[in-house]
Structure 1
Amino acid sequence: MGHHRPATRSKNKRSRPDDNADTTSEILGKILLNGEATEDDINQLYMILKPVCQGCRVNTKDNPNCFCGLIPPPNGSRKSGLWQKTSEIVNALGPDPSEDLRESFDAPAGLKNLGATCYANSILQCLFMNKSFRNGVFSIEPDVLKEQPVLDNLARLFAQLHSSNKAFVDPAPFIQSLELDNGVQQDGHEFLTLLLSLLERCLSQSKDAKARTIVQDLFRGGVSHTTRCSNCGNESEASSKIEDFYELELNVKGLKSLDESLDDLLSIEELEGDNQYLCEACVTRVNATRSIKLRSLPAVLNFQLKRCVFLPNTTMKKKITSAFYFPGELNMAQRLSEHSHKDLIYDLSAVLIHKGSAADSGHYTAHIKDENMGDWWEFDDEQVSKLGQQPFGGSASTREVKTAKNEPVDQSSSAKETMVHVDENNTDSGQLHLSDSNHNGHVKTFSSSDAYMLMYVRRQSKSGEATAGQSCETKIGINGPVYQQWTGSSLPSHLSEEVEKSNAMYLKSCEEYKSKKESELNCITERRQEVRSVLSEAPVQSLLKPYFWISTDWLRHWADSIIPANIDNTTIQCLHGKVPVSMTSYMKRLSAEAWTMLFSKYDGGPRLSKDDYCIDCIFELARTKARADSYRDQRSLMKELAEAALARECFDGRLFYISKTWLQQWLRRKNIESPCEADSGPTASIRCPHGELMPDLGPSAKRILVPENLWHFIHENAVVVKPDDDVGCSAFSSDSEPCALCSIELKEAVSSEDTLREFKLKQRQTHEKLAMNKNMALYQDSRYYLLPSSWLSKWRSYINASGKNVVSVELENLDSVVDMLMCKEVFHSFFHH
């Protein structure tokens, strides 16, 4: 004989609701019969005898001893509340300000992108990283700053970049003072030009000579547009006029290097043929030459690379993405109109990058050299990354690349070695070339397909004499403490105090967040331990031990809330202040130990103990159950009579009319234990406005005869539901006559409908093509009339509608509709002739 396997599938299997209902019905019947409820009856009605559940996936409603599913398993979590993941609880506290903490002042700070302000951020970082310009801004007098919002916000921004404890600074106040749209990206070159012009005007109010001319001293150079007569050699009067420039715009299309672009800029143009020059000295049109001459160069020399070209065929801009070579150092001595005998060396200090293939969109970043340490940094809005000793981080990732034979890297020789930096997107952001030069060393030449602007700074001479670009390097003398940081610059007191205050507030917010986070996590840990502890003590181990009832809803919220509310058992109380049987599925049976733990901490109530079952509610429920059983039995008998009536079976005795539709719906209802709203109005649809029987002509007035006992059952239940409903409960016996007035009205209506139907048929037959919206042939000798198309559409709908689609609205008079089409002058003339 084999052994039977244990029925593991039936472990903790829930009992069927029907079984519980049958048991409850039997117990209530016995209580009503005996007139008393025993302790065993109470235990069964309140389901106290059910076993304590273990391992249920969800909480069982019909077992007050089940505490499963109130909390997730040991390694589980929930989407919200006490048991959500710790990371989500921390996220609910908001962003951690310490994540923006500046790790070290060895690195520059970034600038927050306000939407589409990367172009402004890149330019601002280029200006800030220029020590001379930075010191010049810091030397502006407080009185001038108060009168010039742009200068004031720029100084504050530079001070934050200089000494803020944050890894990136918010430039919003400065951007707002310029009235820029954060959502619209602008051209970086245009922004720099406009910004320098604005700063030059604002700084003119300063009494500090160094601050007043800082823009001119650093960025302004001079050029002239020279026209020379090839016949007499005289230059035009305008040739002597020197124009200021803040950057030189260089062509890139068809050119490979900075040297080629400079040659193109300074090249001589021949004016011949139709383009001859009218020489003032020769007093005739002659051949001439035209060229740009560099008269003076600024300390900071900016080259604007014209990567965007206009396409006339498409009226669109296109970006030139060819590689462009530029040197790490540039000798401009031979480029001046009056050649300098001394070298005029400029060192590459910044490269503005425009990423993206489109000319009118993309992203701006800046690669800038730190003047003090010589390291290059990449500024990408909030992110600032160290590149090392090369502008494109060549030391980070290098590989050998063969240089094309026809692509010279330097004027003196070809490239010997190339190092290419590969960025995260596997695109060449820049190349480094080492070339022999005329300076007994190597000139580093770089190439980039995204370089948009190049910034060079004049090198200090060997004798130690500072160039114009470094004329502002002297320290700022101020009274009071000086805030010194990685830049080697110092802040004046009015700025350092503001930054220190801002830093103190920021560090305070970091500490507050840290404290709040620790407090929250400790609270969560303590609450989880408390819930597990209480639920482990919750089950009542013996019938002899005391217990208390508690609302399941409150218990569930308590087990899942970080900060629970006071105990609330009012939802499971009856009118007598006790616990009714009807609330058994909405409460749990709690041990005295667990109740004490909860009540001592959360107070509330009311306190509902073992003896607080409601005997009054038990007897009321028993009587209600008995009435329901009686109603169900009676309805079952009446249902048979109703089915027979609908089957047109003959009945003896007195008969009554009721609505056929109502009776059909009454039969469809199931599991009815007492009269409900649907039991009202059995004769409402067959009673006319005059209070008599409606003629049996309309679909809603269909009626049927039922026996007297079925009518009395239906009528009594309808009165119970709506005691004052005389209209819906009117009695019409089989000998009731239909309303005479309603009969006449219905007959007239039927006759009118027949007449209208004939009229529509005649219209359709007479104007068949017009009614069917078919094309009609037009003949020359025939007469035709104009009709409004809107009226014609309504006419078709009117005569073609039938059945439920009949249009009840009468058509407008055609004459009045046609009159509306005529203008007032024609209408007046037509009717007066």
Structure 2
Amino acid sequence: MPQVNVIVKWKGEDHKLEVETDDSVEVVKIQLYTMTGVQPERQKLLFKGKTLTENTVLNSLNIKEMMGTPGELPKEPENKTLFIEDMSDKQLAETLKLPSGLQNLGNTCYLNSTLQCLRAMPELQESLNRFTSGSTDADNLTASLRDLYRNLNQTTEDAAPYHFLQILRTAYPQFAQRNPNGYMQQDAEECWTQIVSSLKQANIPVPNQVSGSSSETSSTEGSFIDRYMTGEFTSILKCIDAPEEEEVVIKENFMKLNCHISVIVNYMQNGIMMALDEKIEKNSPTLGRMANYSKTSRISRLPSYLTVQFVRFFWKAEQNVKSKILRKVKFPIELDATDFCTDELKNKILPLKNRLREFEKERESSKNKAKLAINNDQDIVNSNNDETANIEELKKLIDPDLEKDVGANVSGLYDLCAVLTHTGRSADSGHYIGWVRKENSEDWIQYDDDRVKPVTQEEILKLEGGGDKQFIYL
């Protein structure tokens, strides 16, 4: 491999380069790049008036001198690259196709976060679109919510919920409380309760695809709130002071579960179970006076959407303020509610739930195998066919009574779809944020009033509490 000294002229200067004659022009360009900083694709090498290609071998040429130029320097692009960290909130929302945020109208983060979390239910939005306006405060609030959601779904611009807020304050004057600095901060859970109560009073219908396709035997009586967000407790009352007194069984509806927080509660499921087993005082017909009772409640109907409140606030009489329990409480991305249910409901949901769990294990096993091999097209087709067969099998395992109960959960399993968090030491101060999972995705959206951004599932799991950071409330 004889060597030859090549003179390359660039920027009016001669550059001496020692190359192997067995090398190609491509190798020479790389050497020139290390010497001059000119990218190989921008180099033009001429020999006896002809441009040399990268594949030209030097020993095919009678080389004495090669002349090179850097070629035409690239022009600066007319539109400069805009990086995400340099984008405004509006540019970020348009680029990432983020949903619209809600402007803070003066301590209204409690409202904005509540509205964004309720918006996570597509069936609710469809039911609202079927609602026709009425004349009561509840009707007006419902119609305003319908119009607000329609507006949010048609634009990436932030919205100012003036009209909805005005109606809310008229219907529920507590949200119109003021201090010398303006409107006061309010409790997001109280806001959630009043909005859902209004939707219930307005009697918004069940989603159209359900009422239009359900069989005659399906139960579609009641509003969306009754069918999709309301569960039922079956409770047993036993008199502790008079054990001989006959037990009393009562049924009660609920629209949210409470997670009690104490020094022994580390997980949401433990806090919920504590709230289901409680001690109360009531009049005893046997003793003719107030007596102590144990009240054991279990769920006899699970709604499609289950709301859980972390009972973090308690009243401090000496300070006249709602103080906050800062304890860290872990919560799951998927909740199995079977342990909260009556034996009768357990028997109805267990066949489907157990088969779903088996499918999840099989799917996870398939994913692990896929990492070790590349499937061909036929493998993918077979997988899709198997998935269709699985769905048909699962449908057959749905209990007939639950299948008729429109809006009921038929498996006892729930996927986390929205979280409302709070930071601060009091419910009537601090700041609220809504976090909503994107449909059919593990990615989430953070709604901090009009500041909307994508977040990961890992960030959601960090909202478990402790200290003064944002953590889960609803």
Q: TM-score normalized by structure 1? A: 0.33
In 2: Cα distance, 1:336 partner to 1:258 partner: 16
Residue 267 and residue 223 in structure 1: after superposition, are their counterparts in 2 closer, same or farther (change >3 A)? same
CA shift at 1:447, angstroms? 12
Higher relative CO (CA 8 A, sep ≥ 6), structure 1 or 2? 2
Partner of 2:34: none
Partner of 1:266: 276
Establish whether residue 134 from structure 1 lines up as the match of residue 125 from structure 2.
yes
Establish whether residue 327 from structure 1 lines up as the match of residue 345 from structure 2.
no
Preserved contact between residue 376 and residue 390 of structure 1 (Cα < 8 Å): no
Length, aligned pairs only: 301
CA shift at 1:102, angstroms? 4.6
In 2: Cα distance, 1:277 partner to 1:152 partner: 43
Residue 287 and residue 126 in structure 1: after superposition, are their counterparts in 2 closer, same or farther (change >3 A)? closer
Partner of 1:317: 322
Residue 277 and residue 146 in structure 1: after superposition, are their counterparts in 2 closer, same or farther (change >3 A)? closer
CA shift at 1:285, angstroms? 10
**In structure 2, the residue corresponding to 1:197 is in which secondary structure?**
helix
Partner of 2:451: 383
CA shift at 1:110, angstroms? 0.6
In 2: Cα distance, 1:449 partner to 1:285 partner: 43
Preserved contact between residue 422 and residue 433 of structure 2 (Cα < 8 Å): yes
Establish whether residue 198 from structure 1 lines up as the match of residue 198 from structure 2.
yes
Partner of 1:223: 233
Partner of 1:118: 109
**In structure 2, the residue corresponding to 1:250 is in which secondary structure?**
strand
Aligned residue among 109, 113, 127 for 2:100: 109
Partner of 2:346: 340
CA shift at 1:186, angstroms? 1.2
**In structure 1, the residue corresponding to 2:128 is in which secondary structure?**
helix
Establish whether residue 306 from structure 1 lines up as the match of residue 311 from structure 2.
yes
Residue 263 and residue 99 in structure 1: after superposition, are their counterparts in 2 closer, same or farther (change >3 A)? closer
Alignment of 1:601-620 (within 5 A): none
In 2: Cα distance, 1:316 partner to 1:228 partner: 35
Aligned residue among 261, 279, 297 for 1:252: 261
Root mean square deviation of aligned Cα: 3.8
- Segments of 5+ residues of structure 1 without an aligned counterpart are 1-96, 395-420, 422-428, 432-445, 455-833
- Segments of 5+ residues of structure 2 without an aligned counterpart are 1-87, 170-174, 177-181, 212-219, 354-411
Residue 104 and residue 320 in structure 1: after superposition, are their counterparts in 2 closer, same or farther (change >3 A)? same
In 1: Cα distance, 2:282 partner to 2:116 partner: 47
Preserved contact between residue 308 and residue 320 of structure 1 (Cα < 8 Å): yes
CA shift at 1:321, angstroms? 1.2
CA shift at 1:147, angstroms? 11
Establish whether residue 214 from structure 1 lines up as the match of residue 224 from structure 2.
yes
Establish whether residue 295 from structure 1 lines up as the match of residue 300 from structure 2.
yes
Deviation by residue 1:268-287 (Cα, 9 ceiling, x = unmatched):
54x8xxx797365x999998
2:114 aligned partner, one-letter code: I
CA shift at 1:232, angstroms? 4.6
Residue 250 and residue 449 in structure 1: after superposition, are their counterparts in 2 closer, same or farther (change >3 A)? farther
In 2: Cα distance, 1:205 partner to 1:371 partner: 23
1:453 aligned partner, one-letter code: Y
Alignment of 1:74-473 (within 5 A): 102-104=93-95, 106-141=97-132, 148-166=139-157, 168-179=158-169, 180-181=175-176, 183-203=183-203, 213-229=223-239, 231-232=243-244, 234-236=246-248, 239-240=249-250, 242-254=251-263, 255-267=265-277, 269=279, 278=284, 289-338=294-343, 339-341=345-347, 342=350, 343=353, 344-392=412-460, 429-430=463-464, 450-454=470-474
In 2: Cα distance, 1:199 partner to 1:147 partner: 7
% identity of equivalent residues: 25
Which one has the bigger strand percentage?
A: 2
In 1: Cα distance, 2:201 partner to 2:413 partner: 30
**In structure 2, the residue corresponding to 1:358 is in which secondary structure?**
coil
In 2: Cα distance, 1:289 partner to 1:352 partner: 32
2:203 aligned partner, one-letter code: L
In 1: Cα distance, 2:162 partner to 2:92 partner: 19
Preserved contact between residue 118 and residue 365 of structure 1 (Cα < 8 Å): yes
**In structure 2, the residue corresponding to 1:325 is in which secondary structure?**
coil
Alignment of 1:504-515 (within 5 A): none
CA shift at 1:197, angstroms? 1.0
CA shift at 1:378, angstroms? 0.9
CA shift at 1:388, angstroms? 2.4
Residue 283 and residue 370 in structure 1: after superposition, are their counterparts in 2 closer, same or farther (change >3 A)? same
1:201 aligned partner, one-letter code: Q
Deviation by residue 1:262-304 (Cα, 9 ceiling, x = unmatched):
22112254x8xxx797365x99999863323323222111111
CA shift at 1:369, angstroms? 0.9
Partner of 2:85: none
Preserved contact between residue 108 and residue 384 of structure 1 (Cα < 8 Å): yes
In 1: Cα distance, 2:207 partner to 2:413 partner: 32
2:193 aligned partner, one-letter code: T
2:346 aligned partner, one-letter code: S
Deviation by residue 1:626-652 (Cα, 9 ceiling, x = unmatched):
xxxxxxxxxxxxxxxxxxxxxxxxxxx
Alignment of 1:650-669 (within 5 A): none
Partner of 2:380: none
**In structure 1, the residue corresponding to 2:141 is in which secondary structure?**
helix
Residue 244 and residue 105 in structure 1: after superposition, are their counterparts in 2 closer, same or farther (change >3 A)? farther
In 2: Cα distance, 1:448 partner to 1:330 partner: 26
